[in-house]
Amino acid sequence: MNRRGPDPDLDPAGRVDWLREQIITHNRAYYEADAPLISDADYDALMRELRAIESDHPDLISADSPTQVGVGGAPSTQFAPVEHSIPMMSLDNAMDMGELRAWGERTHRRLADIGSHAKVRYVCELKIDGLAISIRYENGRFVRAATRGNGRIGEDVTANVAGIAAVPKKLSGSAPSVLEARGEIYMPKESFESLRLATITENEQLVATGKKPKAVPVNPRNAGAGSLRQKDASITAGRGLAWWCYQLGELQGSDTPASHSESLAWMASMGIPTNPMTTIFDDLNSVYEFCSSWITRRHDLPYEIDGVVVKVDDLEVQAAMGSTAKAPRWAIAFKLPPEERTTLLRDIQVSIGRTGKATPFAVLEPVFVGGSTVGLATLHNQDQVKAKDVRPGDTVTVRKAGDVIPEVVGPVLEMRPDNLPEWQFPNTCPSCGEPLIRREGEAQTLCLNLACPQKRLAELDHFVSRGAMDIDGLGEQQLALFMELGFIRDFADIYSLDRNRLLELRGFKEQSVDNLLAAIESSKKRPLANLLFGLNIVHLGSAGAEYLVTEFDGLEAIASASIDELARTDGVGSVIATSVHDYFRDPRTSAVVDRLVAAGVNTASPARSTLERTLEGKAIVVTGTLEGYSRDQAAEAIKARGGKSPGSVSAKTFVVVVGESPGASKLAKAEELGIPVVTGDQFESLLETGALPS
């Protein structure tokens, strides 16, 4: 079967039939089975192509085409059917700012046509990536919940929704006789990650006993929808689902509010959760700016969004503008750039990292996802490949969230070719040919050959990185060349690079060579903690290095300390202590350190703070920008007073300090855990007293 279908230039009728068949199949997989075969972006591409061909060939349009009917699936026979008193319509999409502006221009003209001379306001709501739901209250009591279904008939999921804590079972205040609240059931990121990790752990046990692994949850939307449709309502209750209301549906026993925003505020006053990011604007330019801002802000939230919904606020104006057969004219969904796509997995290869860790990675048919074209993606480790059961030749789902390294989420099993063999992890290092070793009880597979070229290159690249010695101009490409020429074999060789030899190399100009040598010289002044981190000591991260230099007086003291002395350091356990101890007693690595010391790198611990330790043992999380402090300076101010400055909020956090443009996820986590929050102008008082402002 041709997965791409007939050529539309040669056979538009055949292409239309193929596209309709594909879209209907994917509608069933998405809406009925909660197991989509392709990403949203790939689905949208099919729909857009179908609309384009039908526009060019109007004679091919049929009444049952997916472009002419509402999007959705048939109600499941697992749940009783529910007829919506008011149809739950889908929304038209704007795939970029150009299409959003085009909708704005059409809306402006329609408002003029219907004679709306009043100032029109717009409501912008985050488009939650979840499952549309209708929740009915009678005299303030929760009586029924139904999925969207095909827009007219949904599924009765009352028992399952009853177990979701975020859905109030009784409304506060004076509730009407009937109130239908429409919204989105979703799975927060934290709940999804817990479910995903639990499934992977269970799969590792299943694989170890020769049993077939379960499907690993692909994303919060699918996991949330699948959790809601469980036969056992107790499973749904344990999945940590949540709910945002975005629309007033049927209403009896009360006057209808004049606007959409008023209806949301009214429902919120009765205890129905509405999204706090919902914002009202008086002009379209502000709408465009708001929508555009969420392209980069989407990961600040503790839940997934895939766009922004824009609505005309006035309900009378909405009614006058009307709807098409499947979507209202008064609303549009601005879709954020896709972060999941499906593509072909060409091959699985293995890279060797700075610790010798052998990491499998996917070689993909290049695909545009998350704002860039992706051709490679991580597969983490040997067990993950087996648990996910991805194989070269599979169609796979690829995810790239923000700046995160692209990841293969899993295979689309329905599209797997027959008799596709499992991928086998290699027994030897692809770089040096030495055996790969996996120690008992460990997940990672290692190349232990210290002379392994790929491992040495990764070590050097880490040493010169910003978090370590920060040598600008000495990247992986230059390091590989210098290794090949014999200029560099280890860390210490960097400090003996010869200017004249560098100038003899093709492409190395005098200015660039002088800049490089100046950066190398400047790196000698880097703090001792950065040097320790750059040495690539197994298990020792940047935080552990900071703890060591705070506890010990210089490199010599750290290098000569016993395992017990090292392990007594706060934040350094026996595993790290043993690794540090062994590193400095290995003749090969200690000889390199001696040469680094001879080259003049900084080996002194920072001067101990004389400030009063007002924050001793307390964890202070700073989010946003504080006046007078950079991020590093704020962290240093906290540490100088005995405190800790972690990057995330946890139950151990003493207080969260909020500056300008704070991260929404940290604030949400603080609220969830009941952690105190203070403003940035109270930071100085906190440092001085160590107490929360009264």
CA distance 398 to 376: 10
Beta bridge mates, 678 = 657
What are the Cα distances from residue 126, in Å, to 96, 185, 369, 371, 600?
16, 14, 21, 20, 54
Torsion of CA 342, 344, 349, 350, to 10 degrees: 0
Closest residue by Cα to residue 402 from 670, 134, 245, 189: 189
Whether 127 sits among the annotated catalytic residues: the reply is: yes
Strand order in the sheet with 331-335: 93-94, 331-335, 305-312, 122-128, 279-281
Q: Is 79 helix (H, G, I), strand (E, B) or coil?
A: coil
Strand-pair category, 131-138 with 178-186: antiparallel
* Run of H or E including 624: none
Q: Is 617 helix (H, G, I), strand (E, B) or coil?
A: coil
Give DSSP secondary structure letters for 357-387.
BEEEEEEEEEEEETTEEEEEEE--SHHHHHH
Of the residues 119, 127, 509, 652, only one is catalytic, namely 127
CA distance 656 to 666: 8
Neighbours of 580 (CB within 10 A): 27
CA distance 200 to 216: 7
Hey, what are 288's tokens? Answer: 């465009």
Torsion of CA 39, 279, 321, 52, to 10 degrees: -20
Torsion of CA 576, 577, 579, 582, to 10 degrees: 170
CA distance 278 to 625: 24
CA distance 368 to 42: 11
Strand-pair category, 446-447 with 436-437: antiparallel
Beta bridge mates, 536 = none
Enumerate residues 6+ apart whose C-beta is below 8 A from 428: 434, 435, 436
Enumerate residues 6+ apart whose C-beta is below 8 A from 297: 664
Enumerate residues 6+ apart whose C-beta is below 8 A from 506: none
Residues involved in catalysis: 127
